[in-house]
Amino acid sequence: MLPSLVYQAAKGLFGLLTVPARSDLSKDVEVLVLRHENQVLRRQLDSRPRWGGADRLWLAALSRLIHRRRWAEVFPVTPATILRWHRSLVARKWTFTDRRRPGRPCTRRPVKALIVRMARENPTWGHRRTQGELARPGYPIAVSTVWEILHTAGIDPAPRRAGPTWRQFLTAHAHAILACDFLVVGTIMLKRLHVLIFIEHGTRRLHLAGATAHPTGAWTAQQARNLAMDLGDRITRLRFPIHDRDPLFTSASREVFTAEGLQIITTLPRTPRMNAICERVIGTLRRELLDRILILNERHLARVLQKYLIHYNRHRPHQSRQQRPPAIAAQPAHDVTDLNGQRIVRRQPVVAGMINEYHHAA
């Protein structure tokens, strides 16, 4: 009986003596369990965990309390990552923004846009020529700044740029070009009528030479003579008549233009785009008039086309002429805020009511 009591007392005494040591041991065991659990969770993750700013700050601060050799065992990131986080925090802390001095002000966007626009509109201008042109309206900019802006915009120096586009080339020579072509119209009785049209590239003025069911080379030459008489002194401004290789344009019709000092240009076979403006006006005639009315005979066609010719040259706006008709050099401008129904005629039908015109009241 006594030995058992002594054993129980010794066991309790030793248990009291191991309480402080047991607390440290339990902590170590808990750390081992958590570490093993962390490794198991890492193996189960398919993607890398995402750390927020607070997580990075907390891990970087705790890394100061553990020796660097044990970082790989404790932290779920590599030591290089923790050092990179710390360098990022230091860089954000010591930016010296309060000690920075303002440097040279940057070029404003409107000035940059003006420089790029000048370079695109004038392919032969270099950066020095552009800089000199900017000095006239009061924008003194360094030559190197102009070069940098053009280089950033992808614009090469003037000698390396491409030549003028077809639009620029034709615009520069539009006042000297006269285009002509035949328009074929079918009547209500399925009879084919041929209409010879001329158009001036510069003013977009349209001329209807005539309509016939049986065109010949002599008839074409006579229509060319009639056009030369109608143009009068204006024919001296023209230099290049353009037409295709239709056999109706005979040597007799070409002699009419060469006698006036004009140089005839014939387009390549099957290339209507070389006479694009004339092809476009033919399409306009079809869409606005001929596709919307039945033509009875040659006389009816001539009368309808003459009425449309007046509308086309005196009223119809053209984009290439800033919405001005061919026969009007300038048109008045009014304030749209003062627009009311009393100042505008409601409608004025023309060309058998197929087209409407609107004018200011007298």
Strands 192-200 and 206-212: antiparallel
| Class for the domain spanning 176-331 | alpha beta
Q: What is the pLDDT of residues 51-91, one digit of tens each?
A: 676 766 666 666 667 777 776 666 666 767 777 777 787 77
Region of poorest pLDDT, from 53-62, 102-111, 258-267: 53-62
Whole-structure pTM value = 0.57
Q: How high is the mean pLDDT of the chain?
A: 79
Nearest alpha-carbon partner for 198 in 226, 165, 161:
226
The widest CA-to-CA distance across the chain, in whole angstroms, is 152
Band (pLDDT 50/70/90 cuts) for residue 306 is very high
Q: Where are the domains of the chain?
A: 1-46, 50-95, 109-160, 176-331
Find, among 225, 233, 278, 226, the residue nearest to 253 by Cα. Answer: 225
Which residue type is seen at 206? L
